[in-house]
Amino acid sequence: MSQDIVFIEDLRIQTVIGIFDWEREITQTVSLDLEMNFDIARAGASDRIEDTLDYKSVAKRLIAFVEASEFQLVEALAEHCAQIVLNEFPVSRVRLKLSNPGAVRGSSAVGVTIVRSSQPS
């Protein structure tokens, strides 16, 4: 497995998230941090976008999905986002941190960090 990592940091997306009635009536900002294992050696040698993981495409796909979603739990949203990355992009492993800024008074954010692989570990 490649040890190279392509990352996206603090991808902020508006979505409906939460279990309370008032949360179901508004959108909130969630933030995604992703670390995606992808061998960048070929792209490093060729300098061609076709040889790398197009992080803009990953970001656009996740933005479209999260904006259209209405999950109750950040755990479920994180799991679905990780599966999209693994199933739709040439990534062998993803570490995804999903933060919900402002969800708990007195904290800058709450959320989950998950690690998923396309192959058994």
Whether residue 121 has pLDDT greater than 60: no
Q: Return the pLDDT at 120.
A: 56
Residue 104 has pLDDT above 70, yes or no: yes
pLDDT in tens, 65-83: 999 999 999 999 999 999 9
User: What are the backbone angles phi and psi of residue 119, rounded to the nearest 5°?
Assistant: -130, 155
pTM of the model: 0.92
Q: Domains of the chain, with CATH numbers?
A: 5-117 (3.30.1130.10)
Q: Are 101 and 74 in contact (CB under 8 A)?
A: no
Q: How far apart are CA 56 and CA 121, in angstroms?
A: 28
pLDDT band per the 50, 70, 90 thresholds, residue 3: confident
Signed CA dihedral, 18, 24, 26, 30: sign only: positive
Summarised one tens digit per residue, pLDDT across range 15-49 is: 999 999 999 999 999 999 999 999 999 999 999 99
Sheet harboring 28-37: ordered strands across?
70-71, 5-17, 28-37, 93-101, 109-117
pLDDT band for position 2 (50/70/90)? low
